[in-house]
Structure 1
Amino acid sequence: MSSIPRLFVSALLEPSVPLRLEEDASKYLMRVMRLSPGDRLRTFNGLNGEWLCELGPPEGKTAIIIPVEQTREQMSADTPHLALLFAPVKKAETDFIVEKATELGARSIHPVITQFTQTRTVRLDRFNKIALEAAEQTERLDLPEISDLVVLEEALAQLDDDTALIFCDEAGEDESKPWGGEFGRAGAALSVLDSLKDRSAAILIGPEGGFSQDERQFLRARADTYPISLGPRILRAETAVVSALTLWQAVCGDWT
């Protein structure tokens, strides 16, 4: 089954109800994959699971697919929601963050502006394309919601009241380290995350240069915020994103 092409569609999937694909998807199936009428593919739409479909006769350059049967059900909406808040960095590294956050199961992705954020513009169309391709490749049944760039305080205000904020603090837990720590040290990641099982969470990763003293003080004073350490080394932003999401999935997510 995994060798069969997999494609996201924006329409509702119903048995035997033909769907006309958009130009890019049609070109991919007919020109890149060179599928012919009768060939099969897998589709998902983020709403009603994954479906095995059959390619029908095309209408000019437009591919037609016919859903045959549902092969996977959509995940429950009751599962904990994992969000990523991150300060954009350089273009290639930011693209990498969006791709890996999608692969690692973030349900929503929120670029934020902090005091030391260097990149103040993002391209949501590019982010959405990267996320779509990553979701198709990694067998996800949904696409992450990607928000526009806003200041950190606004992004935090938009979080649901029951969402725990996991603040990845480069000050770490080692009191002998010279950086950070003016407003306290972070807890060991595994023990903090273990206390947050079955809860929705938002992971916050800072920019190159980390968080300012004012931001660290603000975050530590915020209710339902849990500072964690990602180890004794100062990580690049994209490395920190992958590390934090991996830890959450291993302790609280669908790896358990």
Structure 2
Amino acid sequence: MIRLWVPDDLAAGAALEPSREQAHYLVNVMRLAPGADLALFNGRDGEWRGTLTEVSKRGCRLAVGARLRPQQAAPDLDLIVALVKRTRLETIVEKAAELGARRVRLAITERTNADHAKVARLQAIAIEAAEQTGRLDVPQVMEPQKLPALLADLGEDRRLLFCDEAGEALPAQTALAGAGGEAWAILIGPEGGFSPAERQAIRALPAATPVSLGPRILRADTAAISAMTLWQSALGDWRV
């Protein structure tokens, strides 16, 4: 069944008008006709059965039926990733949605080659990935921040898995074994790595746990996927 994220409140009997882009996808790409069923979610009200009731030149209309699943929260996991090349950043956001991250925070570090990103485009990628994976929410893609301000915004209660490619650290799976804490963040550096000053500042954070992702140097997208996989298997909803 096709799944569609909508911003509207969902309740039995509600009528919705998808965006022009969504209407084009449903009617022209997927070729749905009136009477076709789909699943709707908004990240707040769970998943609901929707029915395509009307198609016109201006778009289409949906009717909300019965609730299919109650709302469930994703693990409280932030992925912090330094700005990298566009295609790799898009891959990271897509995989963060697939692997259950609740937020993607974009960091500007001393060695990043860019100070901006098309956040709206990245958010659209996150929505599409959430639709395809069956999750009931969509990870929020945050505007880029300079690394010190971003780390300060995390708060003292969120533990930080620091993927440190340049320093001595325990393997990630060893460091995560038996670790506690409900709220975590994973920190992935830029293509040129963190500067010595940044590494020192991150390691000095009380909540930081420096880890190694193995003997090979990984690209940012590979490192992000690997770290999220290890965290999910040790502390996330893969254990359920």
Q: 1:52 Cα deviation (Å)? A: 1.1
SS of 1:63's equivalent in the other structure is strand
Cα distance in 2 for partners of 1:19, 1:160 equals: 38
Q: Is the 8 A contact 2:46 2:67 kept in 1?
A: yes
Of 46, 49, 60, the residue aligned with 1:49 is 46
Give the residue type in structure 1 aligned to 2:68: T
Q: Please give the alpha-carbon distance, in whole angstroms, between the structure 2 residues aligned to 1:86 and 1:57.
A: 42
Question: CA offsets, 1:22-75, max 9 Å, x none?
Answer: 111111111111111111011110001111111112354221111111111111
Partner letter of residue 185 of structure 2?
A
Moved over 4 A (4+): none
- How far apart, in 1, do the equivalents of 2:88 and 2:56 lie? 40
**Whole-Å Cα distance in 1 between the matches of residues 103 and 179 of structure 2?**
18
Shift of 1:196: 2.7
Within 5 A, what are the aligned runs for 1:51-90? Answer: 51-58=48-55, 60-76=57-73, 80-90=75-85
Q: Partner of 1:238 in structure 2?
A: 221
Does the Cα contact within 8 Å between 2:3 and 2:40 map onto a contact in 1?
Answer: yes
TM-score, normalization: structure 2? 0.95
| Identity across matched positions, percent | 45
CA separation in 1, counterparts of 2:178 and 2:114?
34
Whether the 8 Å CA contact 2:75–2:101 is kept in 1: the answer is no
* Structure-to-structure mapping, 1:1-256, within 5 angstroms: 4-58=1-55, 60-76=57-73, 80-171=75-166, 181=167, 185-256=168-239
* Cα distance, 1:145 vs structure 2: 1.0
How much does 1:191 deviate?
2.2
Asked if structure 2 preserves the Cα contact closer than 8 Å seen for 1:80 and 1:198, the reply is no
The structural deviation recorded for 1:208 is 1.0
| Separation in 2, partners of 1:241, 1:10 | 28
Q: Where do 5+ consecutive residues of structure 1 fail to align? A: 172-180
Give the Cα separation in 1 of the matches to 2:54 and 2:80. 44
Summarize deviations over 1:75-132 as a string: whole Å, max 9, x none. Answer: 14xx641001111111111111111111111100011011111122200111011111
The structure richer in strand per residue is: 2
Q: 2:71 is matched by which residue type in structure 1? A: Q
Deviations 1:157-179 (A, max 9, x none): 111321001100003xxxxxxxx
The letter for the 1-side match of 2:116 is: T
What is the number of residues matched between the two proteins?
239
**TM norm structure 1:** 0.90
- State the distance in 2 between where 1:33 and 1:122 align: 30
Supply the AA of the counterpart residue of 1:167: F
